[in-house]
Amino acid sequence: MGWAQKLCETYDRISRSAPSSGFKPVAPVGFTEKRADYLVTLDKRGELFGIHKFGQSIVVPTLSSAENKTSSVIAPYPFSDELRYMAGDLDSCWKTRVYSKFFNPYIEQLGAWCARDDAPEDLRIIYWYLKKCQLMSDLMAHGLKLMKKDVKKTLVFTVMSNDGGYLWERDDFKKSWLKYLRETQTREKQLCYIQGDMLVIQDKHTKLFSNAKLISADDTNNIFKFKGRFIDAEQALSVSFDASSKINNTLKWLKDRQGFSRFGIHVIMWSPGGAPVKSAFDDNFFLDDEDDPPDTMEAYGKMLAKSLAGYRQRLIYDDNIDFSQVVVLGLEAATLGRMSIIHYQEMSISQYIENLQNWYSHCVWRLERTQDDKTTRFISSPTPREIATLLYGEASVLAAYRDARADKAITRQIRGMYMRLLQCIAEKRPLPVDIVKSAFHKVSNPLRYTLRNGGWDKRQWMRSLAIFCALNAKYAYDTKKEVRQVALDLEKTERNYLYGRLLAVANQVETLAMIDNSAADKSARQTNAIRYMQAMQLRPVETWRRINNLMIPYLGKLKAPWVFTNTLNEIGEKIDFSDNSPLDGRFLEGYYAQGYAYQLAAKQKKEREGAITNDGTEEQN
């Protein structure tokens, strides 16, 4: 139960400290966060002053019975609840006999709280008003039209005060409820396995996310449940009310503050000592707003080192935090009512930063990014969503995002991929070879990337190509400790890399030859290099001969064909054309590097031409 102890430890710390700017404080023990649809305001005489739509989440008193109620169980919350629990005149207004069974236990429970000497006077005013059973009539008189379908709308009450604050935010209100709750807990104290003290044990635990519980034991009627080892469930595990409340409230607070929730999983990374922890799924983990996007590996390395050094310094020189641990917790709703822990890891913050550095240092390439409505390409790491898009396609990823129940086959596949990437990023595990191979087979077949009109989706393929190169670079480092370079390496004699360069030259020749072509849609036309890419990967020697023959007519259309023939000859001299074995992922790296070198040269030429003035002289900058 190390995860439970860490959550209790975290609660004890964050409940004593001031909340971060923009974030709500964690809900105290005995309270929960609940969304209120309407706010009802009373004056000091106990008359209805006003009602309006609220639609905010507030922290209100709670009971385990209320949080665990189902459609067949009547269990009111102590203060804020649904209309059917709080309005005692629903039956008379709607000529029914079904709602008194909800109102009676609610008003009885609220009356027991208000009977205490320390109960706030404003709470008694609310109790006296509700006891008159005229709430629904007053709401209709104030113009609020509520139908029978609205009986589950949640209401919260407050009383007008000079300071303008809400009743549920006052300290006397919170202290009164917690004291009442402690004194009404009649169960015998037992040893809490999490906190190690003799405390009141909780038998029904709170729902964590949606209807799923993390701690649950609801099968005591099965005589074979404990297989002779225990007599009852509490002998197997006993969790106190305090520990259960701390665990659930802390998890909800962390999830909203720094958690990742998608595809039916919840991944939370935090430090029990209070240190700020960057998420492993952050899209731009080390890219600061004031930094220019890095265009070279050298610039990217400097930016990465700067960000890491700054992050470490903020942690070390902050006396208010404990520079100790990072906890990574992964949760999944195994069924509609049960939450399971699918990943748990504890490590030092230094180790966590080192693991992140390992990923962001080696899983990098020149990727397309959009900032301030401007699309550029610079050195960065692919996000998990980009990797999922490469492996499964954009349509499948969108379908998984929209899968509210998270039970589709594609959602389960993407969920599994995310958890495997989490282990690679946060725990420094090697990138799985099946992910790299799957990406390679998809990218080496450019013709599979199509638009809705049937044309070739060149842009999406180029994005996928760059993402694959980043994954391949990471896999090369994991398996061989090789550090791949994004820039074109003219000295590289590796066979796969050279074949990629050859194909990029052939693609450039045909592209330039088609510039004056009057075809309506040139972007949708694939060159022979693109058409035969997959064949060249499988049978490079014979396929290159065919591409070379098809390239000859296009060379004749160029003004300076020798520029490309010289490059082809230089590359060809380094290749053994007797080896016809299939090419690996380095082949695509060579293609990308040579192709980007041509794009960069064209861009620089255009910039030089744009710097020439009308009189033919070059501007002095």
Bridge partners of 583, per DSSP, are none
Amino acid (one-letter) located at 171: D
Whole-number pLDDT of residue 519 = 47
Q: Give dist(CA 103, CA 116) in Å, integer.
A: 21
Taken in order 551, 556, 558, 560, the sign of the CA dihedral is positive
CB-CB neighbours of 161 under 10 Å:
12
Average pLDDT, 10 consecutive residues per value, the chain (621 residues)? 86 76 79 93 91 92 85 88 93 88 94 93 95 92 86 93 84 93 84 84 77 70 61 73 89 85 89 78 59 80 78 58 77 80 89 89 89 80 93 94 89 94 93 96 94 89 96 96 92 95 95 68 74 96 95 90 94 93 96 94 83 44 33
Bridge partners of 456, per DSSP, are 450
The answer to whether residues 528 and 543 touch, using CB atoms and an 8 Å cutoff, is no
Whole-number pLDDT of residue 223 = 56
Tokens of 340: 């399971």
- Chain centroid offset of residue 396 CA: 17
Tokens of 63: 């009971």
- Chain centroid offset of residue 531 CA: 37
SS3 category, 243: helix
Q: Give dist(CA 418, CA 425) in Å, integer.
A: 10
Whole-number pLDDT of residue 421 = 94
Q: Give dist(CA 305, CA 223) in Å, integer.
A: 60
Q: Give dist(CA 475, CA 483) in Å, integer.
A: 10
SS3 category, 156: strand
**β 154-159/189-191 pair status:** unpaired
| DSSP conformational letter for 379 | E
Helix axes 349-362, 458-480, angle to 10 degrees: 130
Q: Give dist(CA 43, CA 199) in Å, integer.
A: 41
Whole-number pLDDT of residue 305 = 81
Surface-to-core class of residue 434, CB atoms within 10 Å of its CB (0-12 exposed, 13-18 middle, 19+ buried): exposed
Query: E strand or H helix at 274, and its extent?
Result: none
Indicate the pTM of the whole model: 0.86
Q: Give dist(CA 164, CA 502) in Å, integer.
A: 75
CB-CB neighbours of 359 under 10 Å:
20
